[in-house]
């Protein structure tokens, strides 16, 4: 039997369900009169696809689609435009060969911009499929449509089941951002132990619901590897770091590339990248954890490697987008020292000044920072006064972390922790974070919803142009 081509596009179905947007798609090898086998759906089987599925690294014409199968049997990945009924002929089919561990994350290209897609992986040999997932391709160049973005950080498995993730899954987000500490693998040393941490996290209903509901961008913090106090020790175990990095790249739909001389721990694989959604927002996915060098803090400090820093500065200046959003695992705000953090941006003042001065000197409007790490939901200005006070930082989540020791101390000296006019909101309960970016209104609506009972804790429209007096 002849081997089928790797990707097949059903011209009639594609044109019907994408409302003409497919005119820009290269329909290679699929003439209008090509025979199409009738589509037959299959039942979902979680024993074959035990970890669900998700989309990541979305661009205006493509996305990476991830799952893990129990073995290396060949799969078919099928996609339907969002308006199509799931019993319709698929618009796109991709032949997929899982790797030795059953992982696969093909990038599917040639898709129209700004459209929703549904997809599933099929094991035709067994006659079963995965769950269905959804994602949206990034907006077309020039588009200025509003975007709804979900975000979180810090999900220690011992705190599951993470109802904040289910709230976010139901919020109708165009995309989701994870700011790090998705798994807490501090006690892992071997490849099997790191894999076990990721597997139990992917099996959680909250993550299955959220990651299947929309496409995602991910960055790491320390606990995907191990606690930062050991991660940056002089005698750090680079072999362990490499094992942890391998696991991260295998269990998530993330792009990576080799950047010789980038200076990241263990090797030169890096994931920092940017993704434009029309002219609404550009998301800069940073690595603000592995490239730092604590031993440099008394000199020309290094928080980001020079290649990443130069890429970031150039990217911010070149962005045509109304909102420039930095996905940054650790906060950059110049908070009082009582917040007790020795590895945030403020401990690397040379690079922090370089980045913030660049934003001010280049007159870059609407630079926003999303962060995690603190086990706190928060909205605060990057600095208390002056031009940098026009920039907001939003701490997302936490979805499942230990109570914040910082807020426990703050109860005793609140006036020192919460300077007037500086911190708009800060609380430590598990919460869902949803952000609406509206370029025409020039505002970001931030909504925090308490995970325990669904009560809205904060709902405000923020405007970057409002500079605090001081």
Same domain for 400 and 283: yes
Q: What φ, ψ does residue 22 adopt, rounded to 5°? A: -75, -5
Q: Are strands 133-136 and 103-104 parallel, antiparallel or unpaired?
A: unpaired
Which pLDDT value is given to residue 14? 61
Residue 245 covered by a domain: yes
Other CB atoms closer than 10 Å to residue 12's CB: what's the count?
14
Same domain for 310 and 432: yes
Rounded distance, CA 437 to CA 423, Å? 20
Residue 470 covered by a domain: no
Same domain for 165 and 27: no
Please, which residues have CB within 8 angstroms of residue 35's CB and are 6 or more apart in sequence?
A: none
DSSP-based three-state secondary structure for 287: coil
Omega of the bond prior to 398 within 30 degrees of 0, cis?
Answer: yes
Domain count, the chain: 2
User: Which residue, 85, 101, 136, sits at the end of a domain?
Assistant: 136
Same domain for 160 and 114: no
Which residues lie across from 427 on neighbouring strands? 377
Residue 2 covered by a domain: no
CB 367 within 8 A of CB 357: no
Same domain for 110 and 81: yes
Same domain for 94 and 220: no
DSSP-based three-state secondary structure for 71: coil
Residue 469 covered by a domain: no
Same domain for 226 and 102: no
Which residues lie across from 425 on neighbouring strands? 379
Closest CA to 399 of 223, 198, 161: 161
Residue 142 covered by a domain: no
Is 328 exposed, middle or buried, given 0-12, 13-18 or 19+ CB atoms closer than 10 A? buried
Which pLDDT value is given to residue 2? 36
Q: Mark out the alpha helices in 254-396 (DSSP H runs).
A: 306-318, 349-361
Residue 327 covered by a domain: yes
Same domain for 226 and 117: no
Same domain for 283 and 430: yes
Range of the domain at 47: 7-136
Which pLDDT value is given to residue 3? 41
Which pLDDT value is given to residue 264? 76
User: Hunting for tokens 């798994």 — which residue is that?
Assistant: 183
Query: Which tens digits make up the pLDDT trace of 438-469?
Result: 999 999 999 999 999 999 999 999 998 666 65
Which pLDDT value is given to residue 26? 36
The domain spanning residue 127 has which CATH number?
2.60.40.10
User: Which residue, 113, 136, 159, sits at the end of a domain?
Assistant: 136
CB 425 within 8 A of CB 458: yes
Same domain for 166 and 123: no
The domain spanning residue 443 has which CATH number?
3.60.21.70
Same domain for 416 and 287: yes
Cα-based distances in Å from 99 to 12, 25, 196, 223? 32, 29, 18, 26
Which pLDDT value is given to residue 215? 98
Please, which residues have CB within 8 angstroms of residue 42's CB and are 6 or more apart in sequence?
A: 122, 123, 124, 127, 128, 129
Which pLDDT value is given to residue 1? 33
DSSP string of 138-202? PPPTT----EEEEEE--B-GGGTT-HHHHHHHTT--SEEEE-S-SS--TT--SHHHHHHHHHHHH
Residue 390 covered by a domain: yes
User: Which residue, 114, 136, 158, sits at the end of a domain?
Assistant: 136
Rounded distance, CA 51 to CA 198, Å? 9
Residue 393 covered by a domain: yes
Cα-based distances in Å from 376 to 68, 163, 411? 33, 16, 14
Give the torsion through C-alpha atoms of 293, 297, 298, 302, to 10 deg: 60
Which pLDDT value is given to residue 340? 61
Same domain for 204 and 65: no
Angle of CA points 159, 165, 168, to nearest 5°: 155
Q: Which of the residues in the chain have pLDDT under 50?
A: 1-5, 20-33, 470
Angle of CA points 3, 97, 77, to nearest 5°: 85
């Amino acid at each position: 039997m002849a081997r089928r081509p790797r990707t097949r596009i059903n011209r009639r179905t594609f044109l019907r369900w994408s409302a003409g947007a497919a005119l820009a798609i290269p329909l290679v090898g699929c003439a209008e009169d090509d025979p199409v086998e009738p589509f037959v759906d299959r039942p979902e089987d979680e024993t074959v696809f035990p970890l669900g599925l998700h989309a990541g690294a979305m661009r205006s014409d493509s996305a990476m689609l991830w799952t893990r199968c129990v073995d290396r049997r060949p799969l078919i990945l099928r996609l339907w435009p969002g308006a199509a009924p799931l019993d319709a002929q698929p618009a796109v089919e991709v032949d997929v060969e899982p790797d030795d561990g059953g992982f696969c994350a093909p990038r599917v290209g040639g898709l129209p911009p700004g459209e929703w897609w549904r997809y599933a992986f099929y094991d035709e040999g067994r006659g079963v499929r995965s769950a269905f997932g959804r994602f949206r391709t990034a907006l077309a160049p020039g588009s200025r449509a509003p975007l709804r973005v979900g975000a979180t950080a810090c999900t220690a498995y011992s705190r599951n089941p993470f109802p904040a993730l289910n709230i976010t899954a139901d919020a109708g987000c165009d995309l989701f951002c994870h700011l790090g500490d998705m798994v807490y693998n501090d006690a892992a040393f071997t490849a099997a132990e790191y894999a076990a941490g990721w597997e139990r996290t992917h099996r959680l209903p909250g993550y299955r619901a959220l990651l299947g509901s929309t496409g995602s961008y991910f960055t790491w913090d320390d606990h995907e590897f191990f606690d930062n106090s050991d991660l940056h020790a002089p005698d750090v175990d680079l072999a362990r770091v490499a094992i942890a990095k391998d696991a991260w790249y295998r269990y998530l739909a993330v792009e990576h590339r080799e950047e010789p001389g980038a200076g990241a721990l263990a090797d030169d694989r890096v994931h920092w990248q940017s993704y434009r959604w029309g002219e609404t927002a550009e998301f800069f996915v940073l690595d603000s954890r592995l490239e730092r060098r604590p031993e440099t803090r008394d000199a020309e400090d290094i928080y980001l490697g020079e290649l990443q820093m130069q890429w970031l500065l150039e990217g911010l200046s070149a962005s045509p987008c109304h909102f420039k959003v930095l996905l940054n695992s650790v906060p950059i705000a110049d908070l009082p020292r009582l917040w007790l953090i020795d590895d945030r941006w403020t401990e690397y003042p040379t690079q922090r000044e370089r980045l913030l001065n660049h934003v001010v000197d280049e007159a870059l409007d609407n630079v926003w920072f999303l962060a995690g790490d603190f086990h706190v939901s928060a909205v605060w200005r990057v600095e208390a006064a002056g031009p940098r006070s026009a920039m907001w930082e939003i701490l997302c989540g936490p979805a499942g972390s230990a109570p914040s020791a910082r807020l426990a101390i703050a109860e005793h000296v609140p006036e020192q922790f919460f300077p007037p006019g500086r911190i708009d909101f800060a609380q430590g309960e598990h919460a869902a974070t949803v952000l609406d970016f509206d370029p025409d209104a020039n505002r970001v609506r931030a909504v925090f919803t308490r995970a325990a009972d669904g009560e809205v804790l904060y709902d405000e429209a923020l405007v970057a142009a409002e500079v605090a007096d001081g």
